Amino acid sequence: MSVSIREVMTKDPITIEESATVVEAAKAMKQADVGPALITRNGELAGIVTDRDIAVRVVAEGQDPNSVKAIDIASTDLVALSPDDDAGDAVKLMREKNIRRLPIVEGNQPVGIVSLGDLAVSLDSGSGLADISAAPPNN
């Protein structure tokens, strides 16, 4: 049985404009209680920044998060899939590229995001990763 990415993706991902600072990105992530934010340029996908990017590339380096742009610490060499692609394609791509989150686009506009946890819950619900991913977040 084939499962489409549309069935497993998180819809309406957090997006920020490429002009956003790291502080603005962090605030958007905190408000939505998520770890990644997709960065857009004129409505199109330009990058992805994570809470780990902020911790490692800004805080640990002693940079000023009010002056560093999120796009400057983001991953910009992106791979993405369409909501109509198969979830198995996401697993394969994430394994090949060694990535944990995959933007989902239509016409290069972000419409969703898929994480390893999303795929585990949907495709391997008995796994430990699925159990952890389905658990309520720590607050």
Give the CATH number for residue 12: 3.10.580.10
- pTM, two decimals, is 0.86
**How many domains is the chain built from?**
1
Q: What is the 3-state secondary structure (H, E, C) of the chain?
A: CCCEHHHHCEECCCEEECCCEHHHHHHHHHHHCCCEEEEEECCEEEEEEEHHHHHHHHHCCCCCCCCCEHHHCCECCCCCECCCCEHHHHHHHHHHHCCCEEEEEECCEEEEEEEHHHHHHHHCCCCHHHHHHHCCCCC
For residue 96, the enclosing domain spans 5-134
* Whether pLDDT at 79 is above 60: yes
**64 occurs within a structural domain:** yes
**139 occurs within a structural domain:** no
How confident is residue 129, by pLDDT bands cut at 50, 70 and 90?
A: very low
How much is the average pLDDT of 76-93?
93
